[in-house]
Structures are given as structure tokens and as C-alpha cells.
Chains A and B, each alone.
Chain A
Amino acid sequence: MFNKKFLKHYYIMLIPAIVWLVLFNIVPMFGVVMAFEDFNPSLGMWKSPFIGLKNFKYMFQMSDIKQIMSNTIIIAVGKIIANLIVPLVFAILLNELCIRKLYRPIQTVVYLPYFLSWVILGKIVLNIFGFVGPVNSVINYFGGESINFFGTASLFRPLIIGTDIWKNFGYSAIVYLATMLGIPPELYEAAAVDGAGRFKRIWHITLPGIKMTVALLAILSLGNVLNAGFDQIFNLYNPLVYSTGDILDTWVYRVGLVNLQFSLATAVGLLKSVVSLVLITLGYWMADKFAGYKLF
């Protein structure tokens, strides 16, 4: 009896969340029909002429869709991988830091760029890599020619991935550091007593201790495969690097929002969502299989 009441109580608390979900997540789903219509707002969603898969066909017939898709995937996958490894290495190094006094300041400093928007960071990055910026000054000092970093297509992707890591790794590292704090210190003491050195301890205690978290983050980030980061690229790209830097989102921005192509923008959004859904489902299955993680 008590149990039933207890449950009811919880369900009542859930109501606001469910209302929110229905209003903002389920109802707008009907808007997906726009992807299959030639949407005319004055006719509305239900009366606009239905054109089937024309928007999708158009999208895939476009001559540079391959380029845009591969840019998106390469940049996004690069970011996913780098954003797993760099914070991990950083977190381990920080965890092993001997001078504990520096622990907090370092963490705070690397955490800082996370809070700035790309509008500002974009300008900073462009200036750092500009002709009179510090990077080229160093190159000139050693007798090299100035490099037009953001005007060279082949350098654009590494720069995008690199600056993205710079912005985010401090934040991601916190998750790892938190997990490391959860590893019982007795394990380290016992290992030390048994004669394990620093590297042995990392290898046999720290890494296994955070294995689950790493796997989980890796798997969940799969859903971002088509999100290469609009804000960042929009603030850094230019016509010279379209060939390696133009991604789905920037393309949708130019086609959809500047020219008010609602249907096409919806179609692309839908495509992105479907791909993400498949990958997340796959990731969830993998999380269960390899890490034993189950949400439901």
C-alpha cells in the first residue's frame, strides 16, 4: 500500500516535465511535414503543397553536397576523438601533479575559454594566427615565411579542431577529474606498498577506474557526428576555405535562413536528426554491450 502511494507521489511530480515534453518536443514534431512540402506560411503547415522527397533529392543532387558532408563528418569526428583524448591525458597529468597548490589555478585557467563565445574567441584566434600575430612572429623570427593560416584550405580543419579543443578540454577534464576523485585512495596506497611506480599506478588503477566514464562519453558523443560546430566555423571561415570548412550548418544558414527556405532547412534538420538517432541508438547498444551501461 505504502509503495503505491509512494509511486503516485512521484508521478504527480513528473507531470510538469511531461507537459513540457509534450508541448515542446512532441507537438513540434508535426512540423517535420514541412520537409516534404513547398512550405508557404500563409497557407500553413497542412495546406502547403506536398512535394514528397523533392527537398531531399535537391539536397543530394547538389554538386557540393559530398564536400559539405565530408567536411562535416571529418571535422566532427576529429573533434570527438580529440576531445576524448586530450582532456583524458590532461586530467591524468593534473591528477599526478606533485605541487598540489597549482592544482586549482591550472584547472581554472584551462577552464576559462569555455565560457567565452565563439564570436569573441573567433577574433582572438584570428589575431593570434594573423600576419602580425604571435604565431607568425615566431615563425618570422626563425626565418620562416608568414603563413596565411586561416586563408589556407589545408590548414583549416586542424585549426578548427585545435581551437575547439583549446576551448573545451578544461571543461571535459573536470568530468574525468571528478571520477578520479572517486577512486578509493587505499588502492593507491596498497599499490605503492606493493612497489608499483607512478606509471604502474596510472595504468592499473587510474585508467581502469575511469574506463567506464571514458567509454560512456565516447559512446554518447557519437550523436554529434553531424554537428561540426556552427558558431565556431561561422566566425572563422571565409571563401578561401569553403572547400574544407563549409559544413551542413553553415550551408543551411546561407541557404535556409538568409534566403528563407524553410522547407529545405527542415529537410536538412530532419536528416541530421535521423542520422544522430541511428548513431545514438547504436551507441546506447554499445554502451550496454561493452560498458554494461543501461539507462532503461
Chain B
Amino acid sequence: MKLKKLVSLMLAGTMAMAVTACGGDGGSTPNAGGESSDTPVESGQEAGGGETAGGETGSEEVSGDGGAQADAGGSRALQPFAETVTIRMGHGLNPNTTFAEGETLENNRYLQWLKEDLNIDVQYDWVCSSNDFGQKLNLCIGSNTLPDAMNVGQTQFLAMLKYDQIQPLTGVFEQYASDRLKQYVRSGGDTLMDAISYNGEIYAIPAPNLTASGVNTMWIRQDWLDELNLEAPKTVDEVFDVAKKFVEAKIGGDNTIGIIGPASGDQLTGRGGNRWGLDPFFGAYNSYPEYWLQGDNGIEYGSVQPQTKDALAKLAEMYAAGAIDPEVFVRSDALEPVTAGRAGIFFGPWWCGYTVDRVTLDGSQEWAAYAAPLAADGKFYSPMADPTSSYVCVRKGYEHPEVAVKIINYLIANEQDWTDKGMTADTSTAGVYPLFNVYDNADEIEYSYEWLKKFNLGEVKKEDVDVTGRKLLRNDLDAIEVMKLDPKDDFSLEYWDLDNEMADSNIPRLVSIMVGMRPLMEEGYEPVYNVYSGQTDTMAAKWANLQKLEEETFAKIILGQAPLDEFDNFVEKWYAEGGQEIIDEVTAAVSE
């Protein structure tokens, strides 16, 4: 009897932990679903913090660029296996994914094509909701029952590496990766190679993050600026001033919000691409919270530097003056006041054209992006994102690691073609294809902006734009040709053809590139890189607490619930409670 009770209690404890896991994921679900149109691509982008190039596969009519041919050359990239090779995987399926009649996740056109063309037999051991995929995989890591190949994030990648659960892929990658896959990986440069390497071997095939997605710029209501006869603000004080004027003028109604900051569940500062974060304010003070920096005296941690205190002081002043959302950190959703037309300024990457897509398309709000606020020396400093956040890994002991590479090759070679021929409309590639990621060049947006701009101004002909290896550029060129009205160099809302029947699928992307990317290209920025993105032993144990301390202190200072000098206590405590050890470990790791 005692035993039974003991047991059931223990189980209760275990279940509580399981519930913990599920609840955790559930928490983020409504954000992902509630935002935007039902293209899986876009919701993926919004939910994932936009670190990947989610928008890339968004539009439906994309013209081919001969990618299939590019890979068809005699390499081994797409050579079928002589004998059927089986690969066992798990899949996180978006519950909204639709299938064509008669197709299922286990039996669909992609798997058939893989079988026919490459002789690869994909078997799924388990399927879960895409929201639970991370948790399910953590469970697989914990119980050492990994699928043969999997698509994971950084935490899991590092954990599997530490537990020696995945195999090196250097040789396989060299031999089997297609030229385009190699090009994409190369486009991420050395930082990307470092991120996936350990002891000189690569352990994952990454999908490079777009460089541009790491930079948060200031998005501001251009129509409000015009209405109040204001110039676009540049410095911290000007941004402060404009925000105050928006609020005082009650331009968006009684509850006008000057600057919308992070809601509950968002982050004040993050490692790049942090929509709603206030990173640019910190950047204006040369402060980079949560970044490991190479300082003059060795490795430094951004959050505990004295400049951070200056940035916090300014933010606290702005909050007290009512320039920042009074409900910052507490609000359940930052997008809601933006859509409702109550917010004047927010910070986010180039793809925030998608964030404001609805109000753009109905012509009710005009948003413009600027590189602001600037630092005292007039430059825009931006912390940059990690080079990748999607790692495809292969379990240790799986005999055919090249299968994973070939599955990716096959996707890259054919994705375009499938879309062109309308073969993916009823069963989406993004939702169903095994090991799906958006594989693309890290400089895709820079390149697109440059050529779209030239073409739009009539400086080059469409045929002269080199679209080799560029998935959406051809389509973008076609779209901007018809949707951008005269004058071609004015990107105000009134000079877009919002009534065009293809506007819904093209304007958000074009606005993202031409308006969102503009400040990065025209005004320039100073990138600041994180030098360490792994996890040391002490970090594993103590990081969560240090982070809690940081989040709590910063939030309280900004809201005026704690005096500014609380920052000094925080720094002291941070060093004492493991920070110093972690700095030493990171220093050792970086100098290796």
C-alpha cells in the first residue's frame, strides 16, 4: 500500500514535469497562429522570431532559375542508390497542413519522388505537432532514441554534440552536397562554419540565416510623421521627442503608444532579429546585452558593461515620460496595438513588412524603416544574429549519412520546379518535405534589394539581372514591375498598386525588401558580432538564474520600480553567482 502510494506520487511528480513541458510550448502557440494569414511560411517566420528566411517561399508563382540543371551535372549529389536505403525519422507537422486527397505524411508525393528518383525510403517513427517537435526531440535526446536524421535548433545541436550522439559529416558533405547547397553554406562564411564545427569536423548541415534578418531597425508611422510635420528622428533624443509628440497629439486615439516594446514572452534584447525588442537603443550606447564581445581586456559580457546602465537610464526616463508603452513586458501581444493603429514606433528586422501586411494592404497605415537611433558618433550599431538556427544532424551509428544530404540536395534542386508547375499547391513542401528548411544565400536580401532597385529605376533590364541560385528574385522583378507605380523612387503607400489581384502575395515582400531593407543598404550600419554561442559547463548550470536576474533587473529599472543603481548590484551579483567563472570558461573556449 505504501509502495503504491509512493509510486503514484512519484508519477504525479513526473507528470507535473511533463505538463510543464507541454504547457511551455502551448504558451507560444497563440502568438504563432493569431498573427497573420494562413500561409505556413509566414506564420513560421513570425513565430520563429524571423530568424530564418521564412518569407522566401511565400509567393505562389515563382519562376524557375534553372536550378535543377545547375545540380544535374555529373556529381553524386542526386545519384540514386543502387539498393533502397531506409531512413527513419520523426516529423513535426503543423496541424493546419492540408494534404491532397489520398495523401498522408507517411505516403505523399515527396516521399514517392524520393523513392523513385533517389531510391530513398523515408519512414516516420513518430509524428507530433510542429509546436511540440522541440520537446519531443528533447525527449529523444534524453532517452537516447534519436531518429536517423533530424532538423534541430542550437540548444539541441549542442546537447547532442556534448552527449556524443551525432556523427561528423565533413566527408559526406564534401562528397555528396550539391554545388548549390555548398554555395549556401559558404555564403555564411567562417562564422557559420564555426557554428557547425567541433574539433575540425562539421556535425550539421545548416540552413544559413539571412544576414539582414539579424538587424533591428526602427519602424515608424510615416503618415503620423507627415501629419505632425516631423522629420524622421535620428538620435536617441529625437526618437524620444517624436514618441512623446505622438502620444501628446493623441494621434492614434486616447491610448496612443509612442514606442511599443516587448510584450510578455518577447525579449527586451536578443541575439539578432528580435522584433519588438529595444536592441537599437542599447546599440546607440554601444551596449550589447546578452552578447559575448571581444573587449580590450579579453572577453566581456555585454549586459554587465557600464554602457548598458546608460541605455537603461535613458529607457527609464522615456518610460517615465510616457514615450514607451506603459504595458511593456506585461502586454499579452505587441502586434495588437500596432494593427489597431495605436502605436507609432517599433523595432524589428526587414521582414516586418510582413508584420504590418494587413494595414499596408488595406492602405490604412504607412510604415517606414530607418536606421535609428544612432550612436553619439552618428553610426548605427547593430548586434548581429547567429549564423544559423537550423541544423540538420545525423545520429551516430546510422550507416548512410549521405541520405540526409541527398534529401536536402533534392529539395534545393527541385523546389522551384515544383512550385512553377503547381505541384505543391495542395500539399505544401514546407509542411511535409522531410528535413525541410529554407536553404538560401545569407546575402539574399541585400542582393535582391540591389537589383530590384536598379531594375525599378530602369537602370538595368530584367534579362540582365543574374538570378542564378536566387529563388524568388525573378518573381520579385515581375511583381515590382507592375505593382510599383510612378514615381518609381517614392515608396510611399500611395505609389503601390494595392488593388492589383496579386498584391496580397507580393506587396508584403516587396515592402519588406524595398522599405525594410532600405536603411541597411542606404544608411549603412556597423555590425557587432557575438563571439561565442556555445554553452559552457557552468553556463549549463547557472545561466538560467543569471538570465532571470538580468531580465528582472532591467525590466524593473525601465519601469521605475527599481532605482538605476540597482544595476550596480546586479553587476556585482552577476559576477559573484557564476558570471566570472563563465567568463573564464568562455575566454578559454574562444581562444582555442
Contacts and interface: CB of A to CB of B under 8 A. Distances in A.
Interface stretch (B195-203, B325-333, B514-522): B325-333
A235 B288 CA distance: 28
A123 interface: yes
Contacts of A296: 1
Given A148-B330, A238-B330, A26 B21 contact: no
A240 B552 contact: yes
A239 B23 contact: no
Contact of A25 (B7, B264, B552): B7
Interface string B118-153: 000000000000000001001001111000000000
Nearest to B541: A58
Contacts, number: 177
B535 interface: yes
A276 B23 contact: no
Nearest to B24: A253
B8 A25 contact: yes
Interface residues of A, number: 73
Contacts of B144: 41-42, 44
Contact of B552 (A242, A258, A270): A242
B20 interface: yes
A24 interface: yes
Interface in A98-131: 117-120, 122-123, 126-127, 130-131
Nearest to A246: B548
A78 interface: no
B554 interface: yes
Interface string A15-33: 0000001001110110110
Given A260-B138, A277-B9, A280-B5, A151 B20 contact: no
A234 interface: yes
A249 interface: yes
A240 B7 contact: no
Nearest to A27: B7
Most buried by B among A29, A239, A243, A256: A239
A239 B27 CA distance: 16
A119 B437 CA distance: 28
Contact of A41 (B142, B540, B547, B577): B142
Interface stretch (B104-112, B155-163, B483-491, B523-531): B155-163
A21 B522 CA distance: 67
Interface in B539-592: 540-541, 543-545, 547-548, 551-552, 554-556, 559, 561, 573, 577
A32 B7 CA distance: 11
A210 interface: no
A230 B20 contact: yes
Interface stretch (A160-168, A172-180, A183-191, A261-269): A261-269
A251 B24 CA distance: 12
A24 B163 CA distance: 26
A62 interface: yes
Contact of B544 (A28, A120, A254, A277): A254
A152 B573 CA distance: 23
Contacts of B142: 39, 41, 260, 262
Contacts of B330: 126, 130, 148-151, 238, 240
Contact of A259 (B23, B141, B332, B543): B543
A242 B548 contact: yes
B561 A240 contact: yes
Contacts of B159: 260
Interface of B: 1, 3-14, 16-17, 19-21, 23-24, 26-27, 29-30, 135, 138, 141-144, 155-156, 159, 163-165, 255, 264, 326-327, 329-333, 396, 535, 540-541, 543-545, 547-548, 551-552, 554-556, 559, 561, 573, 577
Closest 4 pairs (CB-CB, A-B):
A273-B13, A239-B551, A239-B555, A126-B332
Interface of A: 21, 24-26, 28-29, 31-32, 39-42, 44, 58, 62-64, 117-120, 122-123, 126-127, 130-132, 146, 148-153, 223, 227, 230-231, 234-240, 242-243, 246, 249, 251-262, 264-265, 269-270, 272-273, 276-277, 280-281, 296
14 contacts: A42-B163, A119-B26, A122-B27, A148-B559, A149-B330, A234-B27, A235-B27, A239-B551, A240-B329, A240-B559, A254-B548, A257-B135, A260-B540, A269-B17
